[in-house]
């Protein structure tokens, strides 16, 4: 059942480099504000390729962030070893975490070394519940991407995970390899202080148009994010936003 959604805060940039630099500035500002206001900041990272440039910008241009007060989590993960080149943890470590002074105990990768994805998901939920004593985790920032097919995190169209209304983390199956995934559920993503969705490239134009349509539709899981109580900023390059009308930001 599609649900009506609010107008989107869409920011469009001429190219992926401008997009990454602008989004990194806002991420740095948001982390700094969270540390100032409550002594630490918690962020759930996105995986895939798109956020890599954003993470690199944070590492290179934002030494002013109190990185020793930032707690890192992941919104989803492929069920592969942490040294696998498909690992979202490995990508974030190489692009950001190896270059900023984050205490190791502040980095919480999903435990993919555990045998069964379902056990890894349960373990990660325990990790999150040890940090957040609220009904849903309250990250200061959740970063998300969108797949060409409209998935977000590892929430794919037709997946039972889209219906999950109690658990914070579940195992999921992706239609593309690696098929084994771990993902935060929609409600676990939706109660953050802020959600940034970062999208770039021609191949995302249809998915972004669907995600920003006037109704949330389970056939495009990214559109379901718009029913979240959290404010959302959609960061796109001109190619991904090709089917949308919005002024190009510098």
From candidates 42, 88, 185, 223, binder to ligand 6PG by CB under 6 A: 88
Are 95 and 59 spatial neighbours (Cβ–Cβ below 8 Å)? yes
Q: Which residues lie below 8 Å from residue 128, measured CB to CB, with a gap of 6+?
A: 73, 137, 168, 169, 188
x/- track of binding to ligand 6PG for residues 135-174 (CB under 6 A)? ----------xxx---xxxx--------------------
The C-alpha atoms of residue 115 and residue 181 are separated, in whole angstroms, by 13
Are 225 and 197 spatial neighbours (Cβ–Cβ below 8 Å)? yes
Q: With CB under 6 A as the rule, give the number of residues binding ligand 6PG.
A: 15
Tell whether residue 48 is a contact of ligand 6PG (CB under 6 A): yes
Of 112 and 152, nearer to ligand 6PG (C-beta) is: 152
Tell whether residue 49 is a contact of ligand 6PG (CB under 6 A): yes
Binding residues for ligand 6PG restricted to 60-79, rule: CB under 6 A: 76, 78
Of 12 and 92, nearer to ligand 6PG (C-beta) is: 92
Phi first, then psi: give them for residue 94, nearest 5 degrees.
-70, -35
Nearest to 15 by CA among 195, 241, 208, 232: 241
The C-alpha atoms of residue 48 and residue 78 are separated, in whole angstroms, by 10
Of 30 and 153, nearer to ligand 6PG (C-beta) is: 153
The C-alpha atoms of residue 51 and residue 151 are separated, in whole angstroms, by 15
Of 35 and 240, nearer to ligand 6PG (C-beta) is: 240
The C-alpha atoms of residue 78 and residue 60 are separated, in whole angstroms, by 27
Instruction: Specify the DSSP element, H or E, that contains 126.
Output: helix 117-131
Of 152 and 223, nearer to ligand 6PG (C-beta) is: 152
Among 48-56, 65-73, 188-196, 237-245, the segment contacting ligand 6PG (CB under 6 A): 48-56
The number of residues in the chain equals 250
Among 6-14, 41-49, 103-111, 186-194, the segment contacting ligand 6PG (CB under 6 A): 41-49
Minimum distance of ligand 6PG from residue 30's CB (angstroms): 19
Tell whether residue 87 is a contact of ligand 6PG (CB under 6 A): no
Among 17-25, 40-48, 91-99, 126-134, the segment contacting ligand 6PG (CB under 6 A): 40-48
Minimum distance of ligand 6PG from residue 174's CB (angstroms): 8
3-state helix, strand, coil in the chain (%, to 5): 35, 20, 40
Nearest to 196 by CA among 6, 68, 20: 20
Residues lying near ligand 6PG in the complex (CB under 6 A) are found at 46-50, 76, 78, 88, 145-147, 151-154
């Amino acid at each position: 059942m599609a649900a009506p959604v609010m107008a989107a805060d869409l920011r469009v940039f001429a190219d992926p480099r401008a997009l990454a630099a602008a989004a990194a500035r806002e991420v740095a500002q948001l982390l700094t504000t969270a540390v100032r206001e409550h002594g630490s900041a918690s962020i759930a990272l996105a995986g895939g390729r798109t956020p890599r440039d954003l993470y690199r910008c944070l590492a290179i241009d934002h030494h002013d962030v109190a990185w020793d007060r930032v707690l890192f989590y992941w919104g989803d993960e492929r069920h592969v070893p942490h040294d696998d080149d498909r690992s979202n943890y490995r990508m974030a470590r190489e692009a950001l975490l190896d270059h900023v002074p984050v205490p190791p105990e502040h980095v919480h990768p999903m435990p993919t070394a555990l045998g069964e994805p379902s056990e890894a998901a349960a373990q990660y939920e325990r990790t999150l519940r040890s940090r957040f004593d609220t009904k849903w985790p309250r990250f200061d920032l959740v970063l998300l991407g969108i797949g060409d097919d409209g998935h977000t995190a590892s929430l794919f169209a037709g997946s039972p995970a889209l219906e999950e209304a109690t658990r914070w983390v579940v195992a999921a199956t992706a239609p593309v390899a690696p098929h084994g995934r771990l993902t935060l559920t929609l409600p676990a993503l939706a109660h953050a202080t802020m959600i940034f969705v970062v999208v770039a490239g021609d191949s995302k134009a249809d998915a972004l148009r669907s995600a920003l349509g006037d109704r949330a539709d389970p056939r495009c899981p990214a559109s379901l994010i718009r029913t979240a109580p959290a404010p959302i900023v959609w960061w796109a390059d001109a190619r991904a936003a090709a089917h949308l009308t919005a002024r190009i930001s510098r």
